[in-house]
Amino acid sequence: MTHPASTTIRTTCAYCGVGCGVLATPDGKGGLAIAGDPDHPANRGRLCVKGAALGETIGHEGRLLAPSIDGREAGWDEALDLVANQFSRTIAEHGPDSVAFYVSGQLLTEDYYVANKLMKGFIGSGNIDTNSRLCMASSVAGHRRAFGTDTVPGLYEDIELADTVVLVGSNLAWCHPVLFQRLAAAREARPDMRVIVIDPRRTVTCDIADLHLEIEPGADAELFNLLLSEIAARGMIRDRDLEGLDEAVAAARLSKGARTGLRPEQIAAFLDLWLASDKVVTVYSQGVNQSDNGTDKVNAILNCHLATGRIGHPAMGPFSVTGQPNAMGGREVGGLANTLACHLDIDDPGHRHAVQEFWRAPRMTVGPGLKAVDMFRAVEIGKIKALWIICTNPAVSMPEADRVARAIAKCDFVVVSDIMARTDTTRLAHVLLPATGWGEKDGTVTNSERRISRQRRVLAPAGQARDDWWIISQVGRRMGWYKAFAWDDPSEIFAEHAALSAVAGALGSDFDISDHARLSRTDYDGMEPFLWPQSPRKRGGRFFADGRYHTQSGKGRMIAVSSQEPRATAAEYPYRLNTGRVRDHWHSMTRSGLSPRLARHMAEPFLELHPMDATRLGLGPATLAEVESAHGQAVLRVLVTDRVQQGHPFAPIHWTGETAPTGRIDALVPAVTDPLSGQPASKSAPIAIRQFAAG
Ligand code: SF4
């Protein structure tokens, strides 16, 4: 134990992007008592069931406890030397773009920063992408189109203060539970508040909705185009100093209500409620982002807020809520293949030069690298010859997961850093490196409202596990860049990141945490959760109140969003599978699966099927269905429910080859992506369904 058993440590939850503060108290027997931190602004003492069960997930069962090479245990020095030598040799023979890192929105900011610095500044390639590509890349692309930067304007308190809260493609009750609790409490306290849910499914979130719009899947942009058209028709355009305003309105006028699948009176109710008050917050999540037109959907929402000036002030604005605990921190360090540190622009030579100078980097990437789907395609065809997968499980979570697993298996050299010994991905590694997990790690995360909080070490590392920042730094040093990766402590990395933010600020970036550029370890230990930006000019955490944006013209940019025709379904795959999370599991359950309490909620993979579909297919409740797509098969327990629409069943994503070999849902999902963001369209997989015939 790092701390005496009587010491309560303030830390941050391991799971979703709400970023709740947690009080963890060692019980002296290796366990932890968990409570919500009443002083953390994100949750004010609340926790959801996953956060409350964190103490049940800290055992060493299934943990990767020592480095290994080709299945035999190895020492750290041998393993790190091999990784460094193999990456150096591959780069020398085939160039910097022959290697890649695939990382995670669950890394801490310090880990993320070091991985990004090594790949983009020292190896000299943009080939570092993250599983956050699967969760919020369309929001990043939409923000950059509209604002000129990936700036998230909203704060959680806006959701409580709004007169109307619209949730689009967001099952907030299950995926961001404490934020939902805050919304539900505000709704209870303020009878005039209205909540609208736009979702093809009738989820638990609808329990507090005044209006549920069971929209045709994929038609969100159409609905927000109707809204923009109505805004123009009612003369409610307040900000005329916008780029692309006329074109966006003209495109919006082509929208047809029928395409949304909603009745005219439902659409009218939506328009009236959205337009009734300035205090409107539109929250959106994976149902918007995970589409082949996800970026257009995002911009259709942003258009309405820009046109009406409902942005940059309390109680109003668009609000993209992030799925993972540090998806936002990853954006800050430039952890996506097409982004640069501190929200700088990787396509701008001046920005790249400034970062290179700051890092004293020998060879800076000359531009963006490969996004996740393209990265694994490059692995498949042998273009990527050395791959390092850190803190994620792409062999189960990428679309066309079987194909991705086969590609990784063929790769010349695969390194996997993980907390668990056996996952669908670790079994494909040549070198396995044991990483510290939640409770053992020490660093920072940023939540959906841009609030940076500390995750603090409460427990001793399991076995020989080491922090990800340390592992990556050791490889950087052994590749010859000792000085650039010579940190001894995560506080030094955070201070460097903060110092770089001052450079970025001078180039116009919003990301500014430069107050922390000289912080000491003691400052880091005592760090309270804080919102960025911190510079005196921008302090307060709100953007765009003055109508100025980060585009070249300084104006907000409206985007003309075209109507998209309904997707045709092929005769052999007549159903469209919607995928997502359930309340009590997290990703591939490596942590949440350790808690018996959480496992009880949903014990096995399932398929939610509309009663008419179930009847047509001859599938009764609790029978087994065989589900097939062009890319894979699954066998799932049938749940007959009218919460889903006909033709649009739902299945959760959490089961893996280790926990339910026939329940791997991303094996069914095609690797179709949004052309702008590269985010896979995981909400719409064409499938066939039949009765399962055993044997
Ligand atoms: Fe953790 Fe999210 Fe639950 Fe908060 S809402 S306790 S961050 S899982």
Query: Over the stretch 187-204, which tens digit does the pLDDT of each residue have?
Result: 999 999 999 999 999 999
Mutation choice for ligand 1 from 34, 37, 44, 47, CB with most ligand atoms inside 8 A = 47
Q: What is the pLDDT of residue 695?
A: 60
DSSP for 442-454?
-EEEE-TTSEEEE
In terms of Cβ atoms closer than 10 Å to its own Cβ (0-12, 13-18, 19+), residue 518 is exposed
Q: Round the average pLDDT of the chain to a whole number and report it.
A: 93
Q: Which atom of ligand 1 is nearest to the CA of 16?
A: 2
- Distance from residue 474's CA to the centre of ligand 1 (Å): 32
Q: Which atom of ligand 1 is nearest to the CA of 48?
A: 3
The finding on whether 323 has its CB within 6 A of some atom of ligand 1 is no
Query: Over the stretch 669-684, which tens digit does the pLDDT of each residue have?
Result: 999 999 999 999 998 9
The finding on whether 19 has its CB within 6 A of some atom of ligand 1 is yes
- Indicate the pTM of the whole model: 0.96
Mutation choice for ligand 1 from 11, 43, 106, CB with most ligand atoms inside 8 A = 43
pLDDT band (50, 70, 90) for residue 5? very low
The finding on whether 36 has its CB within 6 A of some atom of ligand 1 is no
Nearest residue by C-alpha to atom 2 in ligand 1: 16
Q: What is the pLDDT of residue 2?
A: 39
The DSSP bridge partners found for residue 531 are 451
The larger pLDDT score, comparing residue 29 to residue 360, is at 360
Query: Over the stretch 431-465, which tens digit does the pLDDT of each residue have?
Result: 999 999 999 999 999 999 999 999 999 999 999 99
C-alpha distance across the termini of the chain, in Å: 51
The finding on whether 20 has its CB within 6 A of some atom of ligand 1 is yes
Q: How far apart are CA 156 and CA 154, in angstroms?
A: 7
Q: Within 10 Å of residue 223's Cβ, how many Cβ atoms? A: 26
pLDDT band (50, 70, 90) for residue 1? very low
Look at residue 155 and tell me whether its pLDDT is greater than 60: yes
Domains of the chain (ranges; CATH) run 9-57 (3.30.200.210), 68-134+326-531 (3.40.50.740), 137-320 (3.40.228.10), 575-691 (2.40.40.20)
The finding on whether 585 has its CB within 6 A of some atom of ligand 1 is no
| Neighbouring residues of 395: CB distance < 8 A, sequence distance ≥ 6 | 401, 404, 405, 408, 423, 424, 425, 428, 657
Contact by Cβ (8 Å): 490, 445: no
Q: How far apart are CA 605 and CA 226, in angstroms?
A: 37
Query: Over the stretch 404-425, which tens digit does the pLDDT of each residue have?
Result: 999 999 999 999 999 999 999 9
Q: How far apart are CA 684 and CA 567, in angstroms?
A: 9
Nearest residue by C-alpha to atom 3 in ligand 1: 48
Query: Over the stretch 471-529, which tens digit does the pLDDT of each residue have?
Result: 999 999 999 999 999 999 999 999 999 999 999 989 988 898 999 999 999 999 999 99
- Distance from residue 152's CA to the centre of ligand 1 (Å): 20
Place of tokens 């953390």: 40
The bridge status of strand 32-36 relative to strand 68-69 is unpaired
Least confident of 292-306, 506-520, 655-669: 655-669
Q: Which helix (H) or strand (E) holds 236?
A: none
- Reduce the DSSP state of residue 74 to 3 states and report it: coil
- Predicted-complex ipTM score: 1.00
Mutation choice for ligand 1 from 34, 50, 453, CB with most ligand atoms inside 8 A = 50
- CA-based nearest residue to 434, from 421, 452, 447: 421
Nearest residue by C-alpha to atom 4 in ligand 1: 20
The finding on whether 47 has its CB within 6 A of some atom of ligand 1 is yes
**Strands of 451-455's sheet in order across:** 443-446, 451-455, 530-531
The larger pLDDT score, comparing residue 394 to residue 585, is at 394
| Neighbouring residues of 158: CB distance < 8 A, sequence distance ≥ 6 | 281, 314, 315, 316, 317, 319
pLDDT band (50, 70, 90) for residue 539? low
Q: How far apart are CA 52 and CA 33, in angstroms?
A: 9
- Distance from residue 17's CA to the centre of ligand 1 (Å): 7
pLDDT band (50, 70, 90) for residue 4? very low
Mutation choice for ligand 1 from 18, 285, 438, CB with most ligand atoms inside 8 A = 18
Amino acid at 46: R
Q: How far apart are CA 426 and CA 433, in angstroms?
A: 10
Contact by Cβ (8 Å): 493, 487: yes
- Distance from residue 594's CA to the centre of ligand 1 (Å): 17
Mutation choice for ligand 1 from 37, 48, 581, 597, CB with most ligand atoms inside 8 A = 48
Nearest residue by C-alpha to atom 6 in ligand 1: 51
Q: Which two tokens stand for residue 481?
A: 């860049």
**Strands of 280-284's sheet in order across:** 211-213, 194-198, 164-168, 280-284, 317-320
Q: How far apart are CA 164 and CA 276, in angstroms?
A: 9
Look at residue 636 and tell me whether its pLDDT is greater than 70: yes
Q: What is the pLDDT of residue 77?
A: 98
450: Cα within 13 Å, side-chain hemisphere:
25
Q: Which helix (H) or strand (E) holds 658?
A: none
The finding on whether 252 has its CB within 6 A of some atom of ligand 1 is no
Look at residue 563 and tell me whether its pLDDT is greater than 80: no
The finding on whether 445 has its CB within 6 A of some atom of ligand 1 is no
Mutation choice for ligand 1 from 15, 44, 324, CB with most ligand atoms inside 8 A = 15
Least confident of 354-358, 377-381, 417-421, 532-536: 532-536
The finding on whether 52 has its CB within 6 A of some atom of ligand 1 is no
The finding on whether 15 has its CB within 6 A of some atom of ligand 1 is yes
- Distance from residue 15's CA to the centre of ligand 1 (Å): 6
| Neighbouring residues of 273: CB distance < 8 A, sequence distance ≥ 6 | 164, 194, 196, 210, 211
The finding on whether 172 has its CB within 6 A of some atom of ligand 1 is no
The percent of residues in the chain predicted with pLDDT above 70, rounded, is: 98
- Distance from residue 547's CA to the centre of ligand 1 (Å): 33
DSSP for 577-594?
EEEE--TT--TT-TTGGG
- Distance from residue 146's CA to the centre of ligand 1 (Å): 30
pLDDT band (50, 70, 90) for residue 169? very high
What torsion, rounded to 10 degrees, do the Cα atoms 356, 378, 371, 104 define? -90
The finding on whether 13 has its CB within 6 A of some atom of ligand 1 is yes
Rg for the chain, CA atoms, rounded: 24
Q: Which atom of ligand 1 is nearest to the CA of 447?
A: 7
Q: What is the pLDDT of residue 83?
A: 98
The larger pLDDT score, comparing residue 27 to residue 165, is at 165
The finding on whether 48 has its CB within 6 A of some atom of ligand 1 is yes
Q: Which two tokens stand for residue 56?
A: 């049940």
The finding on whether 16 has its CB within 6 A of some atom of ligand 1 is yes
The finding on whether 17 has its CB within 6 A of some atom of ligand 1 is no
Q: Which two tokens stand for residue 536?
A: 């005196």
Q: What's the sign of the alpha-carbon dihedral 480, 484, 488, 489?
A: negative
Calculate mean pLDDT across residues 64-85.
98
Calculate mean pLDDT across residues 561-583.
85
The finding on whether 51 has its CB within 6 A of some atom of ligand 1 is yes
The finding on whether 82 has its CB within 6 A of some atom of ligand 1 is no
Query: Over the stretch 593-629, which tens digit does the pLDDT of each residue have?
Result: 888 888 888 788 899 999 999 999 999 999 999 999 9
Contact by Cβ (8 Å): 206, 212: yes
Q: How far apart are CA 603 and CA 593, in angstroms?
A: 10
- Distance from residue 50's CA to the centre of ligand 1 (Å): 7
